[in-house]
Structure 1
Amino acid sequence: MTRDEDRNLVEEVAAVVPHPARPPAPVTDGDRHGMRSAINFYSELDGMIADARLLSDYAVAINDDGTRRVKNPQMLAVSHRMRATNLALALKHSEMVWSVERLEQMHDAITGAILQADRETGERVFAALKEVCGRWSL
């Protein structure tokens, strides 16, 4: 149901919000800093994990002999869903970070290959890259 609602929301927003005439300006370093200070992913994730543990602890009782028993199965199920969501978020974040790291590695490899070319070719390539970066405000 949630996926259907998400899809419906995306379709509704796409129908209402017009496409921009040109792509939005890339994010600046100042924007990145503002976003990072506004949302601390790991702090939020830690809080959600703590909440899921709290629900799990509430749903389970410890017997006198140290064994555990479920005292609230519904709450335990909610806790498990929360944990699965947290794991999925952490995995998506890791995949995104890995992709950025791979992109940076590729950039470094390309830069190294350009530097190995003759000086005139390297200067022309870097001038062209500088122009592209200027157009994209990178």
Structure 2
Amino acid sequence: MNQVIYDSRGGNTRKVAEAIAEELDVAAEDVGAASLGPADGVVFLGSGCYGGKPGERMAKFIEANDFLGRRVALFGTSAGGAGSEVKAMEAAVKEKGAEVPGKYFCKGQMAVIFSRGHPNPADIDAARKFAREMAGL
């Protein structure tokens, strides 16, 4: 079963997570209340970017779980849209034994002036496409 787990402070990553989850017909789960399910699907992990890294709750979730043999697709949002949070999550889950078949990141609005309007409809459509590709749909 596929799973979508996210860490979002401003709501940008939550929007992307909900689009991915809707595409997969599952619920998006806030990382604070999530636990890993069966290992037979793809685990989608997403976070905003905070100081060039994923959120602290996501970092702790990755550290606390065993990803050996799991397929983990990563996604993120940041004001700059560079994806450094995704790269950091990739290194962390690979160290815990995960296979990372793909990654997606886009800009996310910060305050009211940085990356205003993101994630936009094109970002959400790209996230949905990413979900289908990763899940083999």
Q: TM-score range, shorter-chain basis? A: under 0.3
Higher relative contact order (CA 8 A, sep 6+): 2
Q: TM-score, normalised by structure 2?
A: 0.22
Greater strand share, structure number:
2
Larger radius of gyration: 1
Greater helix share, structure number:
1
Q: TM-score, normalised by structure 1?
A: 0.22
